[in-house]
Copies of this chain bind each other. A is one copy, B any other.
Amino acid sequence: MDPMAIVERQAQQTDSRILWLVLDGLGDVPREGDAETPLSAAVTPNLDRLAREGCCGRFDPVGPGITPGSGPGHLGLFGYDPSEYEIGRGVLSAVGIDFPLQRGDVAARFNFCTVDEQGRIVDRRAGRLPTAENQRLVAILREIRLAEGIQLFVETESEHRGVLVLRGEGLGHRVGDTDPQRVGVEPHQAAALDEASQRTATQVRAFVAQARRLLAREERANMLLLRGFDTLPAIPSMSARFRLRPVCIATYPMYRGLARLVGMAVPPAPKRLADLPAALEQVWGAHDFFFVHIKYTDKAGEDGDFTGKLKIIEEVDALLPALLGPGFEVVVVTADHSTPWSFKAHSWHPVPALVWAPGRVFRDQVMTFSELACIAGGLGRQPLRFLIAEALAAAGKLAKFGA
Contact = CB atoms under 8 A, between A and B. Distances in A.
Contacts of A81: 1
A163 to B, nearest CB: 13
A386 B60 CA distance: 12
A348 interface: yes
A69 B399 CA distance: 10
A81 to B, nearest CB: 7
15 contacts: A10-B66, A32-B359, A64-B389, A65-B389, A65-B390, A67-B401, A68-B401, A69-B400, A82-B401, A92-B403, A346-B400, A349-B362, A365-B372, A375-B378, A380-B380
Interface residues of A, number: 64
A183 to B, nearest CB: 23
A29 interface: yes
Nearest to A90: B403
Q: Which A-B residue pairs are the 7 nearest by beta carbons?
A: A3-B63, A65-B389, A65-B393, A380-B381, A1-B83, A69-B402, A72-B402
Contacts of A86: 402
Interface in A353-378: 359, 361-365, 371-372, 375-378
Contacts of A1: 81, 83-84
A302 B342 CA distance: 45
Interface of A is mostly: loop
Contact of A66 (B6, B67, B87, B362): B6
A71 interface: yes
A256 interface: no
Contacts of A377: 375
A30 interface: yes
Nearest to A392: B65
Given A69-B401, A376-B376, A380-B380, 15 more contacts: A1-B84, A3-B66, A3-B83, A6-B62, A58-B380, A63-B386, A65-B390, A65-B393, A66-B398, A66-B401, A69-B402, A70-B402, A71-B403, A89-B403, A342-B359
Contacts of A32: 359
A376 B376 CA distance: 7
Given A5-B83, A30-B363, A403-B89, A348 B393 contact: yes
Contacts of A276: none
Contacts of A72: 401-402
